[in-house]
Amino acid sequence: MNDAPPTTPKYEHVSYLVVDDNETNRLLLMHVLKGEGCVIEFAEDGREALDKLQQKNFDVVLLDLMMPEVDGYEVLRQMKADKSLRHIPAIVVSALENMDSIVTCIQMGAEDYLTKPFSPVLLKARVDACLEKKRLRDMQVQSMMQLEKEKKRVDDLLQVVIPIGVALSAEKDFNRLLEKILLEAKTLCNADAGTLYLQTDDNQLRFVIMRNDSLKIALGGTTGEPIPFPPLNLYDDKGIPNHHNVATYTALSGATVNIPDAYQRQDFDFSGTHAFDKRTGYRSTSFLTIPLKDGANQVIGVLQLLNAMDADTGKIVPFDLGFHQVIESMATLATVALKAYIREEALRAQIEKLKIEVDEAKKSREVAEITETDYFQQLQEKVRKLRAQG
């Protein structure tokens, strides 16, 4: 007991439960454990300890073995049998020095075993090591829970995306199809605004749909309202790719870009966006820009969502990274629908062209049949004679 006094606890705001029927031992343990923000509670026997464990959350239990009625072995047994308690580390502090007791406690799930009289420095070191292990376990459990939560959310959202894909595939009106793609994506991400671009044959991104709920802007698509912005060039006059604009960068690279705050990004040119904000009083903050790729991995358009809104506060927040897979899946389904529509339109155009060609051929054939008749030849001969006489 002549060890140096314990140092300041490494971990603050720790909740301890000290279980010992001897008041002197309880006070000594309190002296070793006390520190700023620490909470120490006592139990004088096993029954009281189990009651307190059911009522409150503790980070560590320091447990004596020899106690009346319910001893430390039984407390340890019940703790490890209870799913809600088994994660709490228990350090046995007992006067029993025999190896059988030590082995039994460790086998039952005790984190550590110290014999009385104990070294305060050693006890503190064991407690700190125990807390570190608990911290790492808690982080692992929390990460697993978060992973499961995200997985479930993505799975749930995919169940929403699939019907959307079916609805998109069934849409026969091109403008309504384009609107559905943008509006469904906005709904999934709770975005305030969005733009849909289609890539043209001359390497431009053409604005086809624009929506902004806050500014009550609805342009393109079924609205019949033209979009007053010129197309975005994918290349400059020298053929250099335009990576300055986030939409053209996405079209060229085929990569999704998530920007939490456009006013903090220097790698893209948002001068046009800032000018729009200054003119309208809007603030374009968070961006999610997604390529629309066909089966050959070629980009045919770009979907850009703007200003994700927190459902509870209504404030602008960054787009959730967990939504990437969901929105990209929806974009893939949307691209399938777009390509199918474009193919159908191309086929209709080919059929119409073929029909015209057939009609022209038929007309030519009919004309040839007429001009080759004896009657027509006689008329032509009469016309020639009349012209000669005149």
**Which parts of the chain sit beneath pLDDT 70?**
1-12, 36, 146-147, 149-174, 295, 322-324, 333-334, 336-371, 375-376, 379-380, 383, 386-387, 390
Query: Is 207 a domain residue?
Result: yes
Considering the domain architecture, whether residues 190 and 303 belong to the same structural domain is answered as: yes
The model's pLDDT over 240-257, given as tens digits with 9 standing for 90+, comes to 999 999 999 999 999 999
Domain of 43 in residue numbering reads as: 15-140
State whether 130 and 261 are in the same domain: no
Retrieve residue 265's tokens. Answer: 């990004």
| Structure confidence at residue 4 (pLDDT) | 46
CATH number at 178 reads: 3.30.450.40
CATH code of 117's domain:
3.40.50.2300
Q: How distant, in Å, are the alpha carbons of 183, 229, 319 from that of 250?
A: 20, 19, 16
- Are 14 and 30 a contacting pair, CB within 8 Å? no
Say whether both 185 and 232 belong to one domain: yes
Identify the three-state secondary structure at position 242. Answer: coil
Angle of helix 324-371 relative to helix 174-189, nearest 10 degrees?
Answer: 180
Please check whether residue 185 lies inside any domain of the structure: yes
Model pLDDT, residue 8: 43
Residue 5 belongs to a domain: no
Question: Is 367 within a domain?
Answer: no
- How many separate domains does the chain show? 2
Q: If you average pLDDT over every residue of the chain, what do you get? A: 83
In this prediction the pTM is 0.52
pLDDT tens-place string over residues 321-371: 766 677 777 777 667 666 665 665 556 666 666 666 666 666 666 666 666
| Three-state SS at 264 | helix
Same domain, yes or no: 304 and 185? yes
